[in-house]
Structure 1
Amino acid sequence: MPSALPDGEPMPADGSLPRHALDGAATRPLGFYLHVPYCATRCGYCDFNTYTASELGGTSRDRYAEQVVEEIRLARRVLGEDPRPVSTVFVGGGTPTLLPAAELGRMLTAIDQEFGLAEDAEVTTEANPESVDPAYLAQLRGAGFNRVSFGMQSARAHVLRVLDRTHTPGRPEECVAEARKAGFSHVNLDLIYGTPGETDDDWRASLDAALAAGPDHVSAYALIVEEGTRLARRIRRGEVPMTDDDVHADRYLIAEERLSAAGLEWYEVSNWAAAGKTAARCRHNELYWTGADWWGAGPGAHSHVGGVRWWNVKHPAGYAKALAEGRSPGAGREILDAEDRRVERILLELRLRDGCPLDLLAQDGAQAAQRACDDGLLEPEPYARGRAVLTLRGRLLADAVVRDLVD
């Protein structure tokens, strides 16, 4: 979750939603995001809402699972008679696996008890490679998790050092094997490209190491240097160089070449899954990209139900206090109007392999789409069928294409 919260109107103390938020809910999937904000150390590039032990201000994480369970019960009260079972659960952080596996399982059980899990529910947790072992992974699988996402980032030691990652090269690949042995059906590896000091050969080595481990999903993200992070300060002082957009584009092309040759196909600009196997995709993230409903529990977590978006207070102490007092931990919310939702659909759906419908575009956006197709940024065949789908070159320029289409 991002560390900065947006402006918005106050959240009702009981967390109640406008009546219209559940109109048509039966046609939309419902997911849960559970935020675990704890980290053993802070990575130099990270701008997420996370806390090391020294930053907790005396707040203990021993009761954290109990607090999340209380928010899950709040969700049940707020959503009322909503009959939908939960189709996806994603536990992110932070480092969720700093908590005992039984505590993560306790949160999952609460969702099942309050809402019911769909028979084919996707249940994911993120994990740092140094925070799990075979016994822990077996406990997670026994608790009902069926997908795990490991933060690999790079196979090169010097790149990991710049990122302040503490695991050793080779450990993420071992984790994939351990997860498979524990019975996980789906395993993702997260990679980052464009780290200062990384070369093209370093990036190829990271891709090759990840693919050799045999995950059915790989996420590859361009490094974004966020203000206020240790990495930003190091770059500003001239301690490490900064890569540029051309380097990022080259690394993306390398990723597409390597991953597609290994049988993974892109389905979102930064995500590749086993070709022809939709079950290998991250269904939870697809909820975000397609504007479905999800409840985010935990400090700083964001939620969206029926065009209403809200976010929780950031610090674990404030989060715990609100729940202890019987109040929603929500810090604020916004109610999206039809135009907001139209623009968000374009912003998010254009990043997907299926693209977005051209009839979402206003007149200026439609003209921009025609130019983008003529310029080789949109696929001509889907365009002829009424959809805007990015070409490979279009993916490299996705942000610029989106800006033109939402005008």
Structure 2
Amino acid sequence: MAGPLPEGNDMPADGSLPNGVNVGADSRTMSAYIHVPFCRVRCGYCDFNTYTATELRGTSQSTYIDELSREIELSGSVLTRAGVPKRPLTSVFFGGGTPTLLPARDLVRALELVRDEHGLDSHAEITTEANPDTITPEYVQTLAQAGFTRLSLGMQSAIPSVLATLDRTHNPASVSAAVQAAHEVSLEVSIDLIYGTPGETLDQWRQSLEAAISLNTGHISAYALIVEDGTALERRIRRGELPVPDDDLEADMYELADELLTAAGFQWYEVSNWSKSLEQRSVHNLTYWQGNDWWGYGPGAHSHIGGTRFWNVKHPAAYAQRLSLGQSPAAGWEQPHEEAVALERVLLGSRIREGISTLEFEPNIVAGLIADGLIDGHFALKHNLVLTVAGRLRADEVVRRLTFS
């Protein structure tokens, strides 16, 4: 399970947001994130807010959409009271957990609920994450007929031994079957990969990349493994059962990913994400990186409306209980101070290919980053700060130099 919730202000029982969240709302898009906190088993590296059947205590998967419907209805009234204008959703993202553990009709019903409450943009991106073993032709056909546009598949690796180390239970062959089923009903597909698993070699990572590329999808994400405190993977490393991930090897793996993906027609648009076209980028992820508005539904989900952040109680039973009493499931809220907002804007803005304006920073700092090969000099001449491959590997250093020098 995920770590503790952030510290913040107590949320009123009715979920009322502080004054000012409506300012500038017309210039921001609105999205919905729907958290489905269920998994068959817990992967050893996972630190997300997820629960297996034996951990639910007082709630169940079968009643989840009913509970979710109460928060969706509540969100509409909260936004109306705050004076936030109604905006059709530009994206809806089902994450988890494993959303596709629920029947397809449950995901469809949840989509219908947020559509009825907020409206959907005519080109809205509707995505669900999925474990490859949960996908059948019938399942994705139901999703596509209801308006889903995208499937995000957790492939992670093509190497059985690497999947075993991560405690992933799917058969690598099921990935291609899931992609084929999705393509047959015209769903876009994104493939998620993880590199840096203890014991994984550079050649094994190459095999996973080549396998992902051969699936002929339009989007691939590649994330460095983070060993989170308290996870089964962290305990195995601490006991000496597995080697500590090698930072230098992970850097080589990232460079290999960028090389192979670029050669295959992909273009990076965020540090960990590549797509074959502008249209195949993840609209929902760009919502986060560009600081737009979103409401996060479900246990432990986080929301961002007009600079105010708030988050729900973590356990599904506590979430359901609050909603059954007519109360907001939000546990707390915060409004980051001006310096934190400015830092986050640089942190997030520098991660995307469009970058941010170099005119915001001291010329000598920008020149130093160019000289060190961390930002692209060609783009800098046009006043765009765009990271090089080396800069993407050292993105935190670039942000520190830009903001603290």
TM over 0.5: yes
* Number of equivalenced pairs: 401
Matched residue, 1:352: 352
Please show how residues 71-90 of structure 1 align to structure 2 within 5 Å. Answer: 71-80=71-80, 82-90=85-93
Matched residue, 1:14: 14
Structure 1 stretch displaced more, 150-159 or 350-359: 350-359
Matched residue, 2:254: 252
Displacement of 1:18 in angstroms is 2.1
Displacement of 1:144 in angstroms is 1.4
Partner of 1:62, secondary structure, is helix
CA distance in 2, matches of 1:382, 1:17: 40
Q: Deviations over 1:310-367 (max 9, x none)?
A: 1100000110011111111111111123322211110101110011223444x5xx64
Partner of 2:62, secondary structure, is coil
Matched residue, 1:301: 301
Amino acid at match of 2:370: C
Partner of 1:333, secondary structure, is strand
TM-score (norm 2): 0.96
CA distance in 1, matches of 2:234, 2:400: 26
Matched residue, 2:4: 4
Structure 1 stretch displaced more, 340-349 or 366-375: 366-375
CA distance in 1, matches of 2:220, 2:32: 22
Is it true that 1:223 corresponds to 2:225 in the alignment?
Answer: yes
Displacement of 1:91 in angstroms is 0.4
CA distance in 1, matches of 2:226, 2:251: 13
Partner of 1:345, secondary structure, is helix
Q: Deviations over 1:24-65 (max 9, x none)?
A: 111111000000000000000000000001111232121111
CA distance in 2, matches of 1:297, 1:212: 35
CA distance 1:236–1:109, change in 2 (3 Å) = same
Amino acid at match of 1:401: V
Displacement of 1:183 in angstroms is 2.2
Partner of 1:406, secondary structure, is helix
Matched residue, 1:335: 335
Displacement of 1:2 in angstroms is 4.7
Report if the CA contact (8 A) 1:322-1:328 is conserved: yes
Matched residue, 2:318: 318
CA distance in 1, matches of 2:251, 2:72: 41
Report if the CA contact (8 A) 1:216-1:280 is conserved: yes
Partner of 2:90, secondary structure, is strand
Displacement of 1:115 in angstroms is 1.1
Is it true that 1:125 corresponds to 2:125 in the alignment?
Answer: no
Please list every run of 5 or more consecutive structure 2 residues that lacks an aligned counterpart in the other structure.
none
CA distance in 2, matches of 1:64, 1:163: 28
CA distance in 1, matches of 2:306, 2:249: 39
CA distance in 2, matches of 1:255, 1:173: 20
CA distance in 1, matches of 2:173, 2:75: 40
Q: Deviations over 1:165-191 (max 9, x none)?
A: 00112211221111001221x100100
Is it true that 1:369 corresponds to 2:366 in the alignment?
Answer: yes
Please list every run of 5 or more consecutive structure 1 residues that lacks an aligned counterpart in the other structure.
none
Amino acid at match of 1:234: R
Amino acid at match of 1:248: E
Identity between Structure 1 and Structure 2 (%): 52
Displacement of 1:401 in angstroms is 1.4
CA distance in 2, matches of 1:155, 1:239: 22
CA distance in 1, matches of 2:154, 2:14: 36
TM-score (norm 1): 0.96
CA distance in 2, matches of 1:374, 1:198: 34
RMSD of aligned alpha carbons: 1.3
Structure 1 stretch displaced more, 170-179 or 89-98: 170-179
CA distance in 2, matches of 1:348, 1:21: 21
Matched residue, 1:264: 266
CA distance in 2, matches of 1:102, 1:290: 32
Matched residue, 1:54: 54
Displacement of 1:79 in angstroms is 1.1
Displacement of 1:71 in angstroms is 0.9
CA distance in 2, matches of 1:303, 1:197: 37
Displacement of 1:196 in angstroms is 0.9
Matched residue, 1:147: 150
Matched residue, 1:102: 105
CA distance 1:112–1:340, change in 2 (3 Å) = same
Partner of 1:20, secondary structure, is coil
Amino acid at match of 1:255: A
Report if the CA contact (8 A) 1:36-1:96 is conserved: yes
Report if the CA contact (8 A) 1:345-1:356 is conserved: no
CA distance in 1, matches of 2:19, 2:105: 36
